[in-house]
């Protein structure tokens, strides 16, 4: 604390305070601006929380300052300001907060250190997301002034989540630290290595004369991880999938564009198990297409262009439709009917998938209510809807379902909620509470795309709320071609019998597949053999409980 009008200021100090907008100096805004304008240009990054003028009579004689640096602001022009509240004091007091004693050194140096730590990853010490972008932006500006190539390598650790889940998060952190250390050693000294988040890393390469040099960098990285990583919990073999994007003066790009392109190339490398993938013209077209789709989704939602098509689930034994699956379609005014493979992934990334899900749920509830009134036996069948990840981990989602079924005037027991097997395994911990509440409402929980992952049997047994399993079309499509698919179906049927779970075969497209599925004991089927997804009006003519025609042909 101090009580003087003057203080020895550093020689290089330039008055500069960031003043809060809520001060007592509001009677003469123009003159207040005259005071605060030169004070806003701050040299040392110091920020004030409050600046209050102090007057004797009608004249301001001092300024009361709460500051984060030990300093006092001298009177700049006391005659130019009048205190609005009429506050009168006889002694001018300045409150000084000496933060230097608490931080043990220069505040300015402390602030610089805080900023550095904020822009670097705390676990590995590597530059973080913002630091990478800024450095890449600076490197791009230098590259575009001269001939040369700059490249971004986006790395994702293959199988890291499984290791993290099985060995624990502490072991996962040790693995990330070891990975970062080895990555730094495997690249050139001038390359910038950063952690983008999770198990994603970025390498920025500058000063290149040819794109093939980036392939050499990527090969060196992959070779460096051909040997296992030793941590206290054991030895782990960890290889990265790498996506590469480049820019030059003739093919410029922003920092964000380069990172996004490298990220997309990495995903293609991971999906195709290529190890390394360059961003190419085909991906560039895909990127432009995705941007076009993203821009068009919101207007399409407002215009009601998204509709629900329905595909029957039939019973071989009863020879009739016993349920329907609601599938979203985009009825575009120019391009016609667009399937979900063109827009759902984009909606996920742009945060719009929950709004699309709301459209589907409300339309299904309304249409089911119509069928309940039109057809006496409609209440005996269920309509299923696919859930997105954002819905599955949203604690408020069960309340939304309860509101929607009440709004539609249907029973929640008519609504089947489908969760992809892979999503269930990936988000089992986050989703279990939501699934429990949905089951408690009366909705049936359905595991979709079943048969492609390990560990699903145990998860279904742990949840103890699964009512239906839908065997994935890829498994059904391989029946008769390999023994593994048949074994998967047989194991699924055995488990379903023990757990009293219904089994549906998806993707039945031929009579041969239909016969093999029947021979394996599956009664319920879904696929193009019976009917393609169709608008609701197709079922309005005879009701959802359509008899299976005597002769089944693939739709044209």
Residue 448 has a pLDDT of: 94
Q: Hunting for tokens 């047989």 — which residue is that? A: 490
Angular region, 319: left φ>0, alpha ψ -120 to 50, beta rest: left
The pLDDT mean for the chain works out to 78
Structure tokens at 88: 């009168």
pLDDT value at position 240? Answer: 92
Residues 6+ apart with CB under 8 A from 262: 152, 153, 154, 202, 243, 244, 245, 279
**Mean pLDDT, range 11-39, rounded to an integer:** 40
CA distances from 551 to 311, 346, 519, 530, 554 (A): 18, 40, 20, 10, 10
Asked if the model's pLDDT at residue 89 lies above 90, the reply is no
Instruction: Check residues 498 and 42 and name the one with the higher pLDDT.
Output: 498
CATH number for the region 290-540 comes to 3.20.20.450
H, E, C per residue of 530-552: CCCCEEHHHHHCCCCCCECCCCC
Domain ranges of the chain: 1-118, 119-279, 290-540
pLDDT value, residue 430:
82
**pLDDT tens, 169-208?**
888 888 899 999 999 999 998 899 999 988 999 999 988 8
Q: Tell me, yes or no, if the two domains 119-279 and 290-540 fold the same way.
A: no
Diameter of the chain measured on Cα atoms: 103
393 closest CA partner among 362, 424, 421, 414: 424
CA distances 380 to 60, 268, 535, Å, are 83, 44, 21
* Candidate from 107-116, 352-361, 400-409 with smallest mean pLDDT: 107-116
Nearest to 121 by CA among 40, 72, 181, 73: 181
Long-range (24+ apart) CB contacts under 8 A made by 354-359 are 354/388, 354/390, 354/391, 354/394, 355/301, 356/297, 356/301, 356/306, 356/328, 356/388, 357/385, 357/387, 357/388, 357/390, 357/391, 358/400, 359/301, 359/306, 359/308, 359/328
- Predicted TM-score (pTM) of the model is 0.57
The matching CATH number, chosen from 3.30.565.10, 3.30.70.270, 3.30.70.1110, 3.40.50.720, for 119-279 is 3.30.70.270
Spatial CA neighbour of 301 closest among 335, 339, 328, 334: 328
Q: Is the pLDDT of residue 66 over 60?
A: no
* Dihedral of alpha carbons 226, 154, 188, 150, sign: positive
Alpha helices in 442-531 (DSSP H): 456-463, 473-477, 483-499, 511-519
Per DSSP, 480 falls in state T
Q: Is pLDDT above 50 for 42? A: no
Place of tokens 């299923």: 384
DSSP 80: G
DSSP summary character for residue 379 = G
User: C-alpha angle with apex 438: 403 to 421, nearest 5 degrees?
Assistant: 130
pLDDT in tens, 306-329: 999 999 999 988 888 889 999 999
Indicate the SS3 state at residue 370. helix
Of 136, 247, 229, whose CA–CA distance to 186 is shortest? Answer: 229
CA distance 202 to 352: 28
Cβ–Cβ under 8 Å, residues 457 and 427: no
Contact 308, 327 (CB under 8 A): yes
pLDDT tens digits, residue range 331-368?
Answer: 988 888 989 988 888 888 888 899 999 999 999 999 99
pLDDT, mean of residues 492-497: 92
Question: What single-letter DSSP state applies at residue 273?
Answer: T
pLDDT at 99: 40
Strands 200-208 and 382-386: unpaired
Among 470, 417, 487, 409, CA closest to 445: 417
| β-strands 466-471, 415-420 pairing | unpaired
Model confidence band, residue 271 (pLDDT cutoffs 50, 70, 90): confident
- Neighbour count for residue 498 (Cβ, 10 Å): 8
Query: What pLDDT is recorded for position 118?
Result: 65
């Amino acid at each position: 604390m101090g009580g003087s009008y003057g203080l020895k200021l550093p020689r290089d100090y330039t008055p500069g305070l960031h003043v809060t907008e809520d001060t007592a100096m509001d009677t003469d805004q123009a003159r207040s601006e005259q005071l605060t304008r030169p004070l806003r240009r701050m040299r040392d990054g110091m920020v004030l929380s409050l600046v209050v003028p102090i007057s004797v009579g009608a004249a301001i004689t001092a300024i009361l300052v709460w500051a984060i640096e030990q300093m006092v602001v001298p009177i700049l022009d006391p005659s130019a300001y009048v205190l609005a509240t009429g506050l009168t004091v006889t002694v001018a007091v300045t409150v000084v907060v000496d933060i230097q004693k608490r931080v043990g050194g220069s505040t300015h140096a402390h602030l610089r250190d805080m900023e550095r730590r904020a822009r670097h990853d705390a676990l590995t010490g590597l530059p973080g997301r913002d630091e990478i972008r800024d450095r890449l932006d600076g490197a791009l500006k230098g590259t575009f002034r001269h001939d040369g190539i700059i490249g971004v390598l986006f790395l994702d650790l293959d199988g890291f989540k499984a290791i993290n889940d099985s060995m624990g998060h502490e072991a996962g952190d040790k693995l990330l630290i070891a990975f970062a250390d080895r990555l730094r050693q495997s690249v050139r000294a001038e390359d910038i290595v950063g952690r983008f988040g999770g198990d994603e890393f970025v390498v920025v390469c500058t000063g290149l004369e040819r794109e093939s040099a980036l392939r050499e960098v990527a090969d060196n990285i992959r070779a460096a991880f051909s040997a296992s990583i030793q941590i206290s919990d054991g030895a782990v073999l960890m290889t990265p999938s790498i996506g590469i994007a480049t820019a030059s003066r003739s093919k410029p790009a922003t920092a964000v564009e380069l990172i996004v392109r490298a990220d997309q190339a990495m995903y293609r490398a991971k999906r195709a198990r290529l190890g390394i993938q360059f961003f190419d013209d085909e991906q560039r077209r895909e990127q432009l297409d995705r941007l076009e789709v993203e821009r068009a989704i919101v207007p399409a939602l407002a215009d009601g262009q998204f509709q629900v098509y329905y595909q029957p689930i039939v019973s071989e034994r009863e020879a009739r439709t016993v349920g329907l699956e609601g599938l979203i379609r985009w009825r575009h005014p120019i391009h016609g009917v667009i399937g979900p493979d063109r827009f759902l992934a984009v909606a996920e990334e742009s945060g719009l998938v929950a709004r699309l899900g709301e459209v589907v749920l409300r339309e299904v509830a309304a249409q089911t209510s119509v069928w309940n009134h039109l057809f006496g036996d409609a209440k005996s069948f269920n309509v299923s809807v696919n859930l997105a990840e954002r819905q599955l981990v949203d604690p408020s989602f069960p309340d939304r379902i309860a509101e929607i079924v009440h709004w539609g005037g249907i029973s929640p027991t008519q609504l089947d909620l489908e969760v992809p097997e892979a999503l269930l395994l990936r988000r089992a911990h986050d989703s279990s509470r939501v699934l429990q509440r949905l089951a408690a409402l009366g909705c049936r929980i359905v595991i979709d795309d079943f048969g492609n992952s390990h560990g699903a049997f145990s998860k279904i047994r742990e949840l103890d709320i699964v009512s239906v399993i839908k065997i994935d079309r890829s498994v059904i499509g391989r029946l008769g071609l390999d023994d593994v698919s048949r074994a998967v179906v047989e194991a699924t049927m055995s488990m379903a019998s023990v757990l009293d779970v219904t089994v549906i075969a998806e993707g039945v497209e031929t009579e041969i597949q239909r016969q093999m599925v029947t021979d394996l004991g599956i009664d319920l089927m879904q696929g193009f053999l019976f009917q393609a997804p169709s608008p609701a009006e197709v079922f309005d003519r005879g009701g959802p409980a359509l008899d299976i025609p005597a002769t089944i042909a693939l739709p044209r």
